[in-house]
Amino acid sequence: MKKPAADRILMFLKMRGEATSLLMAKELSITKEGARKHLLNLAEAGLIEPIIKSEGVGRPSTYYTLTDKGLAQFPDTHAEVTVQLLQSVKNLLGENALDLLITDREKHTYKRYEKALSKAKTLEQRLGALAEARSKEGYMAEWKKEGQDYFLIENHCPICAAATECQGFCKAELSNFQSLIGDDYQVERVDHIISGGQRCVYKISQ
């Protein structure tokens, strides 16, 4: 069943970060008038906000992006309970126990991803399999190539609250990605939701 246009607009902005009404109408196969109507309603509901950008000669362009309220439509997985559990582990057992917990989690995660990538022979195949595996877990992942570099993009973080409480999760994930991609490539995080970015972006280069 096809999702309502307003929901698809929110999802599109979550994936793209920002977009004009014309681009959304084209990508979502709705009329320009329909797109503007939905955007107006979403703005009135406080879910999106317009951003005016000057792009050289001509009139400035209006882009739309999600507000904090709009971002909240893509919730963290069991955020409050997860944070409370992490705080309890830290308070009762200490930082070392929390590090051991994260290490054990990422060890199991690595094995799962390694299996998913087992038939991938090229870098692009590995990125495709990894993005698919991450998307199944709620990360809304995709990859793209720009010049000689590749980028793994995660448009959502379903464990954002947990990662904010303990950034060891993010460090472990970066380490996992480096091991999965291989020593022939360097993997670095160039954008980070925890640090205020709209997405987590990993650059893969030789």
Q: What residues contact 88, with CB distance under 8 A and at least 6 apart?
A: none
pLDDT attached to residue 78: 56
Q: How many C-beta atoms surround the C-beta of residue 94 within 10 A?
A: 11
Class of domain 79-205: alpha beta
Kind plus residue range of the DSSP H or E element containing 103: helix 95-116
Cα–Cα distance, 168 to 99 (Å, whole number): 7
As its CATH architecture, domain 5-71 has Orthogonal Bundle (1.10)
- Please tell me the least confidently modeled range out of 32-36, 61-65, 83-87, 153-157: 83-87
CATH 1.10.10.10 residue spans of the chain: 5-71
Averaged pLDDT score across all residues of the chain: 86
Under 8 Å between Cβ of 169 and 102: yes
pLDDT attached to residue 147: 94
CATH 3.30.1380 residue spans of the chain: 79-205
CA distances from 176 to 114, 120, 182 (A): 10, 16, 10
Q: State the residue for tokens 């980028």.
A: 151
179 band by pLDDT with thresholds 50, 70 and 90 = very high
- Please tell me the least confidently modeled range out of 8-17, 104-113, 124-133, 181-190: 8-17
Q: What is the pTM of this model?
A: 0.67
The more confidently predicted of residues 60 and 152 is 152
pLDDT attached to residue 18: 85
Residue 18, Cβ density class (10 Å: 0-12 exposed, 13-18 middle, ≥19 buried): middle
